[in-house]
Each structure stands twice: as structure tokens, then as C-alpha cells.
Amino acid sequence: MTIRWTLLPASELPAGDAWLGPDERKVLAGFRFRNRRSDWRLGRFVAKRAVSSFASIDDTNRIQILAAEDGAPEAWIDGRKGELGISISHREGLAACVVSDGAAVGCDLEAVEPRSSRFVNDFFTEQERIAVEATAGALRDRHVALTWSAKESALKVLRVGLRRDTRSVEVEIEKVEAAEAGWHPLRATVSPEGRAFLGWWRQEAQVVLTVASDDERQSIAN
């Protein structure tokens, strides 16, 4: 299974809302706050671009990205729900979307920034705390961001998001000291089910992107 990813800055957003479908415009009209509207538009734009590339659809007006009852995004093509796995995240003026050919996927963007020991103690497992404490210097901030981001990605695979205790997911980051360029492996194990999700991470400037899936045969491509 190939997971395809797309990352776009807010500067690529088109002016106006003509690129949104009728159902999407109804959702947008319900947002009261400007920042929420901006983030939502950016997420929908990157998702439409990702789905159109994945499904070889030239006209993005054929695509709408609508939330399911559980809040997870779904791709609708020509008025029918597509058989695609899809996940969206936005942070720091960037939006990411990953698309698969049906397997559940999750992605998350997080800023690499200082986070307190209290944050780590409240939301990380014991093994994660030990791993973070063993990471020295500036890499600690990236390790914390990656661990948190991978938790969110795994919870999106489950379609539960942060409604579930983040300590029910234990993340292992391989090569946390790896260079910023390229993709690097990670693993997330969900308890009490014991499900293991394989995944990937990369850094783009001061933001990290993680991807998780429940398909062990996965690879990732742009």
C-alpha cells in the first residue's frame, strides 16, 4: 500500500470560495471565528489537491471533503463517498493531507517548540518519558513534538482523536537524531488492544509531520 502525502502553505490558497463545493460552503458558513475558518479552508484545499492527484481527477470541483459523524474527514467524488483513507492536519500556516487506497491513515503536524516536563508527565507513558529524558539538548523539543504528533496520528487511524487518553498510545521514535531531510520510521502501539501502527516522520523547518497506518505493507510517496 502506498500512502501519498501533500504539504502546502497558506500562501497557495486561492482567493474566494468558488473552489469549495456546496456542502463545504455550508460547513464554512457555520464557523464563527476567523482563525477556525482559515484553518478549515486550508485543510480542505490541501485535501482536494491530494485526492485529485491520488485519484487522477483533473477537476477538483468534483471533490468535496466532508466530515463523517465521528468527525473524521472523508472524500466525496461526484456525490459518492470515495473508497479512500484520508487524514488532514494544519499548523503554523501549513496544511498536510495523506491519502491511501482504503486503509485507515492518520497524519499530524506539530511545531517544534519548548514543552514543559509537566506536559510530558501528563500525556506521555513511562517509557516515552524515559526516552525523552535521555534525549539531550535541542533534540528534546523535536522528540517531544514527534511523540505527541505520532500519538495524534495513531488516534486518527482509530478515528477517535483526542477523545481518548493519549497514554493509551505508546510511541517509539527510531533515530530521533536523524537529519531533517527525508522520511524516518516510527511505531505506535495502542492499548489495551495491542494494535501496532507503523509510521513515518519528517521535519519541515520548525514543524514535524507524522503519518501512521494500520497496514504493515505501507510505503510513503509524494
* SS3 call for 93: coil
Taking residues 83-91, report their average pLDDT.
95
Out of 75, 102, 129, pick the residue that ends a domain. 102
Q: What percent of the chain has pLDDT over 90?
A: 83
Q: How many CB atoms lie within 10 A of CB 209?
A: 24
Look up the CATH number of the domain holding residue 141: 3.90.470.20
pLDDT of 218 over the 80 cut = no
- The pair phi, psi for residue 31, each rounded to 5°, is -85, 130
Residues 77 and 144 in one domain: no
Give the pLDDT score at 105: 95
Apex CA 39: angle with CA 25 and CA 171, to 5°?
125
Residues 135, 41 share a domain: no
Alpha helices in the chain (DSSP H): 22-29, 34-54, 117-123, 126-133, 139-157
42/116 same-domain check: no
Res. 216 pLDDT band, cuts 50 70 90 = low
Mean pLDDT across 79-107: 94
Has residue 149 got a pLDDT over 70?
Answer: yes
* Helix (H) or strand (E) run with residue 10 in it: none
Instruction: Give the confidence band of 140 by pLDDT, cuts at 50, 70, 90.
Output: very high
Domain match, 14 and 60 both: yes
Question: Are residues 47 and 96 part of one domain?
Answer: yes
* 216 contacts 198 by C-beta, under 8 angstroms: yes
Question: Each residue of 14-30: pLDDT tens digit?
Answer: 999 999 999 999 999 99
Claim to verify: residue 116 and residue 193 sit in the same structural domain: yes
Of 93, 71, 91, 18, give the one whose Cα is nearest residue 48: 18
Q: What is the mean pLDDT of residues 142-167?
A: 94
Residue 214 clears pLDDT 80, i.e. is over it: yes
Q: Tell whether 18 and 91 lie within a shared domain.
A: yes
206 and 154 in a common domain: yes
Considering the entire predicted model, what is its pTM?
0.94
Q: Which of 65, 81, 102 is the last residue of a domain?
A: 102
89, three cell numbers: 492536519
Mean pLDDT, all residues of the chain: 93
Q: Are residues 196 and 169 in the same domain?
A: yes
pLDDT at 125 over 80: yes
Percentage helix, strand, coil, to 5, in the chain?
35, 35, 35
| Helix residue ranges, H only, 134-215 | 139-157
Torsion of CA 190, 81, 24, 162, to 10 degrees: -10
User: Is residue 205 over pLDDT 90?
Assistant: no
3-state secondary structure of 216: coil
Least confident interval from 118-127, 187-196, 211-220: 211-220
Alpha-carbon gap, residue 222 to 216, rounded angstroms: 19
Contact between 175 and 183 under an 8 Å Cβ cutoff? The reply is: no
Domain that holds residue 153: 107-221
Residue 31: enclosing H or E segment and its boundaries? none
Domain count, the chain: 2
Question: pLDDT digits over 158-182, tens only?
Answer: 998 888 899 999 999 988 888 777 9
